[in-house]
Amino acid sequence: MTGSASDIGYLFEPRSVAVIGASHNPAKIGYKILQNIVNGGYRGRIYPVNPRGGEILGQAVVPSVDEIGGELDVVCTCVPSQYVFETVKTCARKAVKFNLVISSGFSEVGNIEGEREITNYATKHGMRILGPNIFGMFSARASLDMTFGPGGIQPGNVAIITQSGALGLAMIGKTAVENIGISAMISVGNKADIAEADLLEYLVDDEQTESILMYIEGIRDGAPLVEMLKRAARKKPVIVIKSGRSKRGASAAASHTGSLAGSDDIFSAIMRQCGVLRAESVKEGFDLCKFLSNTSRPAGPNAVIITNGGGIGVLATDACEKYGVGLLDDAEGLRETFGPVTPDFGSTKNPIDLTGGATSDHYAAALDAALENPAIHTVVALYCETAVFDAENLAPMIQESSRKYQAGEKPIVFSAFGGRSTADALSTLSKQRIPIFDDVYAAVACLGGLYAQHDYAKHPPERSVEIALDFAAIDAVLRGARREGRSFLLAAEGQRLMEIVGIPMPLSRMARNLDDAVAAAEAIGYPVVMKIVSRDILHKSDAGGVALDLEDREEVIDAYQAIMRSCRAAVQGAHITGVEVSEMVKSGVELIVGGRRDPGFGPVVMFGLGGIYVEVMKDVSFRAVPLGRAEVLGMMEEIRAYPLLLGVRGEERKDMNSVVDAILKVATMIRRCEGISDIEINPLVVYEEGAGSRAVDVRVLLASAEGGGPDA
Amino acid sequence: MTGSASDIGYLFEPRSVAVIGASHNPAKIGYKILQNIVNGGYRGRIYPVNPRGGEILGQAVVPSVDEIGGELDVVCTCVPSQYVFETVKTCARKAVKFNLVISSGFSEVGNIEGEREITNYATKHGMRILGPNIFGMFSARASLDMTFGPGGIQPGNVAIITQSGALGLAMIGKTAVENIGISAMISVGNKADIAEADLLEYLVDDEQTESILMYIEGIRDGAPLVEMLKRAARKKPVIVIKSGRSKRGASAAASHTGSLAGSDDIFSAIMRQCGVLRAESVKEGFDLCKFLSNTSRPAGPNAVIITNGGGIGVLATDACEKYGVGLLDDAEGLRETFGPVTPDFGSTKNPIDLTGGATSDHYAAALDAALENPAIHTVVALYCETAVFDAENLAPMIQESSRKYQAGEKPIVFSAFGGRSTADALSTLSKQRIPIFDDVYAAVACLGGLYAQHDYAKHPPERSVEIALDFAAIDAVLRGARREGRSFLLAAEGQRLMEIVGIPMPLSRMARNLDDAVAAAEAIGYPVVMKIVSRDILHKSDAGGVALDLEDREEVIDAYQAIMRSCRAAVQGAHITGVEVSEMVKSGVELIVGGRRDPGFGPVVMFGLGGIYVEVMKDVSFRAVPLGRAEVLGMMEEIRAYPLLLGVRGEERKDMNSVVDAILKVATMIRRCEGISDIEINPLVVYEEGAGSRAVDVRVLLASAEGGGPDA
C-alpha cells in the first residue's frame, strides 16, 4: 500500500471530484450521487463524466476523465463492473488520488479476480481504491455528500465507517431522526484496498470528529487496525458494532487456542486491548456515540445518582454495578451537599432521593449542589413522572442544568420515565443533543462507556515488548521437522524449542545405567520420576516401567532395579536404552499459554486456566501481538481464575513474572517465526513467587508451506 | 393468612368500595382516588367516607364505614398513619374483605410495630390488607381505578404488580405512551399481608390477563411465591424486573453456599426454575409484555429471518444465537419456499435476503410464503430503509401481514430501521399493538422470551420429590451438638448425618490393633489410607502417623508397624487408641452440593463445580426447595462444567443418579430439618456411571434458636 497520512486527507477534503458514469436519468445511481454532491453544497470542482456529454443538474458533463484539466483528487466510479477496470486505467493515467468504486459485481459475488486486477493496477499507479461495492462517502468538512443515499445528512461530530451498505444507507435517515450529527460516513464495502485503519488515520486527528462508530463484519490484515485503534482510542471514543459471531469453523481448528479463538471472545478481547467500546446493537452504538461526543472527561471515579423515586434509584444502582460506574460513598459529604436541598423524608445517601414530592426547583438545586462539589465527578439524574412535578419545567430545567454541567466540564446523564409530557420533554431535549434517555440502563451504560474509554485513554501508550530469541536455532528445529514432512513438532523438539527460548520445562535426563540414573537424580534434585526408555516397550506403566516420587538415592537405586526386573520380565528380550529421570512436577496452578495466527488479526496470544478441562471451563483471554507488559497483565486479570494467581485461601501469591515472561516469549515466537502456526503450553504450572513455573507439555504446529506470510 | 382463591376475586371485582378519608380538597389523595374511581367508570357502589359528610364529586359522603348498609368488599384507607389502626378496627367490625392502606408512615420509616398491629388485627378478623404505603390498584375487569395516579389507564391485557410506588405511578403514563393496555395494576408497597403470590392466584386464571409483569425489590416468604410462579408461568408469560442486586451482605455469610447465594444469581436461577422471564430494565420488561401478550404459541423451534439488508440479517443471526432462537437450516426447503419470491441476487438461505431492491410486494410475498410453510414456526421480519422501497406501503404491509400471522397463529416479530418515514410507520403500527421494534436485538429478545416461556410451559408440571429420611436419627445428632452449645457439627457428626441419609462417604473404620487394621483394610478394599488415632498427637503427618495408598495386606502390616514406631518415638508416652483405616478416595469430578435457608426464598439447594476453588470459579447454580428430579437435572445442566459430567476427552459419563440423589437428600434435609441452617458437601467426588460418588467433606451449620421457623 502506498497511502500516507497526508494523502488520506484528500479523500475527506478533495479539491475536485468527478463522477464517472454520471447519468441524465434521475433513477440511476450516477445521477443520485451527482445530485447529492451538488445539493450538499460542495465547494470544490465537480466533474460529471459521461461520453454522451451535455449538462446534468446544471453541471457541464465531460466525456472522459482524460479531458479534465488540473488535478483530480477523488473520483466516484458508477459504471457496470465490466467497465470498471477500463476507467481505473484512465484514472490512473490522470493521477487520480482516490477512486470510490461504487459498482458492485466483484468479490461479493465471487469475482475475486476482477477485484484483484483493479486493486493491483491502482496500487501500482499510486491510486487508492475505496470499495468496490459501496454507497460512497460523506465528509462534513468538505460539505461533500458523495453517496446515493437520501441526502440531508446532518453535519455533526460522529464519524461512521460501515461495512454494510444497506445498514449504512438506513443510518443516514436514522441518525437524523435520532439527532446524531455526522462528521464523516464512509462505506468500505469489499475493502479491496482502503480499510478501516486507513480511514482512522484521518479521523483520529480530525478535530470535528468527537467519536467514531464502526460497523464491522470481518477483519482482514488486522495488525495495522489494532495499532491504529490503540492510537485512536487514546484521543477519542471508538465504538464498534461487530456482527457475524458465528461459531462455525471454530470446531475445525486443531488446537485449544484455535478452537477457543473461533468464538467471538477474541474480537471482544482485542477491542478491550485497544480501548475500543463494543456495542452489541446499533441502538447501543448510537446511544454511546451521542453521549460520548458531547460529554467531557470525568475528573474522577465518583458518581452520584439523583432521583425522585426509590425504585429507579435502585435500578440505577444495579446498572452502575453492571457498567462499572463507582458510586460516591461519603455519607457525611453527601449530607453536607444535599441536606440543604433535599425535601423532608428524602435521603442524602447515594442515590440521593428528592422524594416523589420534588419539583423542578428541587432538582435544579440538587444538580447545582452536585456540580459545585468537586468530590462528585459525574451525575446520573433520574426523573419519574409524578403529579406534583411541574411538567412544563422539566425540559427547561434539564436544558439549563445540562448547560451548566457542560460549562463546568462535569459529565451528567439524564433519564426520564413517564407519560406524554415526559415523552415530549425527551423529544425536545434530544433535538438539542442533550444526553437524555427513557431508560435507566441505557443512561448508565453510556456513563460506563465514558469511564471505560477514559480509563484506557489516561494510561500512556505502552511500548510493545519483544524478547530477544535465538531465531536461527528455532528455525533449525522447524526445518528438521519440515524435512521429515511433518506439520507438527515431536515432544523432544517441543522441549528443545522451550529450551532455546528459555521457558523452563521439568528437568529431565537420560541415564543408560544405574550410576547415570543416580547422578541424574542428584543433579535434578529430589523427588524425581523414573521411566523406562525402550523402543520395544510401549505401555510403560503396564510393564512396571514407571516409578514416581523417588525421594532419595536409595529409592532411586531400588526403583532402577525394580524397573529393569519388571520390564525384562514383561517384554522378553526387549532392547532397553536406559531410563529417563525427570523432575517430579509439584502441583501448582495449571495455566494455558497459547499463540496462533488468527485469520483476521494475525498473531494473537491466549492465556487462561489450563489443565485437561480448558475447553470445558473456557476461562481464557486473548490479545493481539505485539503487546506490552501491561497488556499482558491486563489479559491475565481478565480470566475468572485470576484470584488463584494472587493467592486465595491462605495460599501464596504466584510467580506472575514467570507467566508474563512465558506469554511474551510465545508472543514473540508467533509473531517472528513464520514457520509456526500454533504454540500451546498446557499446562504451564506456576508456583509461589520466586519459584517460577514449568511448561509441562508443549504442542507446536507448523504453518503450511503456502500460508502464514510475514506478519512482522 | 386467611385468604383463599375465591376471596381474592373480590379485590379485583368488588361489588362496593369505600374511600376512608375521602376529601373535599382536590389536592388531597383522598379526593384524587375518589375522582379516579368515579371517572374510571366503576359500576359498583361507591362510598366516600368522611366524618364531615356532604357530597364529593356527586357522591354522597357517609360519615363512617359503620353507617354503610350492605356488604363492603373493598376499602381504600387514606388517613394519616396514626388513625389507620382505628379505621382498621371499624372496617373489621363491618366485615370488610380487603383494605387498601394507602397511608404511609409504617415499616418503610421504621414503624414496624404499627404495621404489625394493623396486620395482626386484620388477619385475626379475616380482613386482608394491601399495603400499607401504596398508590392503590386498578382493575380493568371492574373498570376500577382505585389509585391516586393521573387516571386514563388504558385497559388491555398486561397485569402489573409493583413494589415501587413512584415507578408504578409513572408506568401509568408510560404504558399509555407505549400503547400497552393494562388488565390490572397493583401497588403492593410494604407487603404487610398481601404479597405477589396472593395476587397471582387471581391473575393466573383471569382471562383478560395475557401476561404479568412484576417489579420486585425484595422477597419475603418466597416458598408460596415460587409455587405460584411455577403455576402461573405454565399458563401465561410472567416477567420479573428485580432490582437491588447489591453484593453487600454476601461476604458475611458463613458457608460457600451462603456467600455464593448472596449474589443476584440465586434470584435468576429460581426465576428460571419457575419459568419466569427476567427483565433487566423496565424497557425490556415492557417490550416482553407487549410482544408476549399479543403473540400465540410457536408450533416448533424453527425461525426464519427475512430481510432486505445483509448487515441487519447478520445482526439478527447473532441475536438469535444470544437469545436461544433456533434458525431453520433446511437449504432445499428454504429455496423451494422463497425461491419464487426472492429477487435476483437475493439469498434463500436463512436469513432470507430480499436485497436492497425489495419493495412492499416482495415482503408481502415472502411473508405469505413463510406463513404457508408449516416447517417455519416463527418469523423475524427486518426492514432497512431504502430509496427503492415504497415507504407509504410499509405500515399497511406490516399491518396486513401481522393480521394474517395472527389469524394463522404463527408468531412474527418486526424490526424496522431508518429515517422519518420508518419512524412514522413504527409509531402507527405501535398504536395498533403490532409487535414492531426499531432495534433488531430488541425484536429477537422478545422472540427468545416467547420460546423460553413456551419451553417451560410445554413440560408438564413436575411432582416435587422428597426422600424418606430418618428424621428422628438426624434430630438426635443435632440435639447432641446443641447440648454442647455448638452451632455446627463436628466431622464425626457430619459423617453420621451422611450415614443416616445414605450419602456415601469414603469408608472408614477404627482399628485398635494390627489384626483389626488388616481386617478393616480387607473389608474396605484396597488401596486404603491409615492414620494414627491419639488424643496426644495433633499433627499426625509430622509424627509419621499417616500412610497413604496401601495396596495390599503386606503394605498395611508394614505401615501399621511403621506408624506405631514413629508415633511412639515422636510423642513419648502418647496414649494411642489405634488407627483409622479409610478408603483411598480416587480422583473424579469434584462437585459441591449445598443447602441453606435463604432469607427470601427459604430452603434452597446449590450445585456446582467443587474443590478448593469453588469461590474463585463461582460455577454454581441454585434452586428453591421443594423440587423435582427434572428440576435438579435442569440445575445441573446450568453450570459451565456440566460437560464434565457427560464425559469429555474420552472420559466416561459420570454417575449422575448418585449426584441427583445427593442433591435431593440435601434438599429434603434443608426443608425438613429446622435445626439445620446450612449443609455443604465439598467435594462430592463423582465417578463413572454405576460407580457412585463420595462425600469427602461435609459441613453442617445449625440454625440459631430463634431463627428458621417452619418452612414446610
> A579 falls in which pLDDT band (50, 70, 90)?
very high
With beta carbons under 8 A apart, name residues in chain B contacting A176.
419-420
Q: Measured between CB atoms, does B448 come within 8 Å of chain A?
A: no
Instruction: Tell me what pLDDT residue A256 has.
Output: 53
| Section B178-206 average pLDDT | 95
| Section B199-211 average pLDDT | 96
Report pLDDT digits (tens) over A105-162.
999 888 999 999 999 999 999 999 999 999 999 999 999 999 999 999 999 999 999 9
Q: What is the CATH number of domain B462-503+586-712?
A: 3.30.470.20
Q: Are B594 and B665 in contact (CB under 8 A)?
A: no
Q: Are B218 and B601 in contact (CB under 8 A)?
A: no
Instruction: Tell me what pLDDT residue B705 has.
Output: 60
Assign domain A303-458 to its CATH superfamily.
Succinyl-CoA synthetase domains (3.40.50.261)
pLDDT cut 70: percent of chain B above it:
95
Instruction: Tell me what pLDDT residue A599 has.
Output: 85
Q: Which residue of A has its CA nearest to B385?
A: A170
User: Best of B314, B440, B446, B646 to disrupt the A interface by mutation (most A CBs within 10 Å)?
Assistant: B314
Q: Which contiguous run of DSSP H or E holds residue A602?
A: strand A602-609
A607, burial (CB in 10 Å: exposed 0-12, middle 13-18, buried 19+): buried
Query: Which of A273-277, A629-633, B37-41, B617-621 shows the lowest per-residue confidence on average (mean pLDDT)?
Result: B617-621
pLDDT cut 70: percent of chain A above it:
95
Instruction: Tell me what pLDDT residue A586 has.
Output: 85
Instruction: Tell me what pLDDT residue A7 has.
Output: 87
Instruction: Tell me what pLDDT residue B80 has.
Output: 96
Q: Measured between CB atoms, does B250 come within 8 Å of chain A?
A: no
Instruction: Tell me what pLDDT residue A1 has.
Output: 39
- Nearest-CA distance B179 → chain A (Å): 11
User: Residues with Cβ < 8 Å from B431, sequence gap 6 or more?
Assistant: B179
Instruction: Tell me what pLDDT residue A379 has.
Output: 98
Report pLDDT digits (tens) over B622-646.
999 999 999 999 999 999 999 999 9
User: What is the CA angle A249-A196-B386, rounded to 5?
Assistant: 85
| pLDDT for residue A34 is more than 80 | yes
* SS3 at position B414: strand
Q: Mark yes or no for CB contact B169/A246 under 8 Å.
A: no
Q: What is the mean pLDDT of chain A?
A: 91
φ, ψ (nearest 5 deg) of residue B681: -105, 115
> A574 falls in which pLDDT band (50, 70, 90)?
confident
With beta carbons under 8 A apart, name residues in chain B contacting A438.
283
User: Residues with Cβ < 8 Å from B189, sequence gap 6 or more?
Assistant: B101, B108, B130, B131, B132, B133, B134, B163, B165
At position A368, the amino acid (one-letter code) is: D
Instruction: Tell me what pLDDT residue B345 has.
Output: 83
Q: Measured between CB atoms, does A165 come within 8 Å of chain B?
A: yes
* SS3 at position B11: helix
User: Residues with Cβ < 8 Å from A554, sequence gap 6 or more?
Assistant: none
Terminal Cα-to-Cα distance of chain A (whole angstroms) = 15
Instruction: Tell me what pLDDT residue A345 has.
Output: 83
Instruction: Tell me what pLDDT residue B256 has.
Output: 53
Assign domain A9-292 to its CATH superfamily.
Succinyl-CoA synthetase domains (3.40.50.261)
Q: Mark yes or no for CB contact B648/A613 under 8 Å.
A: yes
pTM: 0.90
Q: Mark yes or no for CB contact A418/B217 under 8 Å.
A: no
Bridge partners (DSSP) of residue A620 are: A608
Q: Mark yes or no for CB contact A616/B644 under 8 Å.
A: yes
Q: What is the mean pLDDT of chain B?
A: 91
| pLDDT for residue A5 is more than 70 | no
CA distance B215 to B161: 6
Report pLDDT digits (tens) over A634-643.
999 999 999 9
Instruction: Tell me what pLDDT residue A257 has.
Output: 54
Q: Are A123 and A2 in contact (CB under 8 A)?
A: yes
Q: Mark yes or no for CB contact A356/B166 under 8 Å.
A: yes
CA distance B169 to B162: 9
CA distance A141 to A294: 18
Per CATH, is A507-584 categorized as 3.30.1490.20? yes
Report pLDDT digits (tens) over A177-224.
999 999 999 999 999 999 999 999 999 999 999 999 999 988 888 899
Q: Which residue of A has its CA nearest to B32?
A: A387
Q: Mark yes or no for CB contact B616/A648 under 8 Å.
A: yes
Of A91, A81, A3, the C-alpha closest to A47 is A91
Q: Are B76 and B100 in contact (CB under 8 A)?
A: yes
Q: Are A604 and A688 in contact (CB under 8 A)?
A: no
With beta carbons under 8 A apart, name residues in chain B contacting A247.
321
Report pLDDT digits (tens) over B524-570.
999 999 999 888 887 787 788 888 889 899 999 999 999 999 999 98
CA distance B510 to B88: 67
User: Best of B145, B172, B174, B322 to disrupt the A interface by mutation (most A CBs within 10 Å)?
Assistant: B174
With beta carbons under 8 A apart, name residues in chain A contacting B32.
387
With beta carbons under 8 A apart, name residues in chain B contacting A440.
281-282
| Section A338-342 average pLDDT | 95
The domains of chain B are located at 9-292, 303-458, 462-503+586-712, 507-584
Beta strands of A440-543 (E only): which ranges? Answer: 508-511, 528-533
Of A245, A318, A231, the C-alpha closest to A278 is A245
Q: Mark yes or no for CB contact B312/A167 under 8 Å.
A: yes
CB neighbours of residue B330 within 10 Å: 14
Instruction: Tell me what pLDDT residue A233 has.
Output: 95
Report pLDDT digits (tens) over B255-312.
455 555 556 888 999 999 999 999 999 999 999 999 999 899 999 999 999 999 888 9
- Nearest-CA distance A241 → chain B (Å): 9
What angle do the packed helices B440-458 and A282-293 form, to 10 degrees? 140
* SS3 at position B264: coil
Q: Report A:497-556 residues touching B (Cβ under 8 A).
A: none
Query: Which of B206-215, B255-264, B469-478, B650-659 shows the lowest per-residue confidence on average (mean pLDDT)?
Result: B255-264
* SS3 at position A333: helix
Report pLDDT digits (tens) over B411-461.
999 999 999 999 999 999 999 989 899 999 999 999 999 999 999 998 888
CA distance A134 to B151: 52
Instruction: Tell me what pLDDT residue B52 has.
Output: 92
Instruction: Tell me what pLDDT residue B6 has.
Output: 46
HSE of A532 in the Cβ direction (CA atoms, 13 Å)?
Answer: 27
DSSP string of B67-95? Answer: G--S---EEEE-S-HHHHHHHHHHHHHTT
Strands across the sheet containing A508-511 = A508-511, A578-583, A528-533, A546-550
Pinpoint the alpha helices (H) of B128-244: 165-177, 196-205, 222-235
Query: Which of A542-546, B88-92, B640-644 shows the lowest per-residue confidence on average (mean pLDDT)?
Result: A542-546
Instruction: Tell me what pLDDT residue A60 has.
Output: 94
Instruction: Tell me what pLDDT residue B390 has.
Output: 94
Beta strands of B34-163 (E only): which ranges? Answer: 45-49, 55-56, 59-60, 74-77, 98-101, 128-130, 136-139, 144-147, 155-162
| pLDDT for residue A707 is more than 50 | no
CA distance B379 to B352: 11
Q: Measured between CB atoms, does A427 come within 8 Å of chain B?
A: no
Beta strands of B190-337 (E only): which ranges? Answer: 211-216, 238-242, 277-279, 303-307
With beta carbons under 8 A apart, name residues in chain A contacting B440.
281-282
Bridge partners (DSSP) of residue A522 are: none
CA distance B524 to B411: 61
Report pLDDT digits (tens) over B306-333.
999 888 998 999 899 999 999 999 999 9
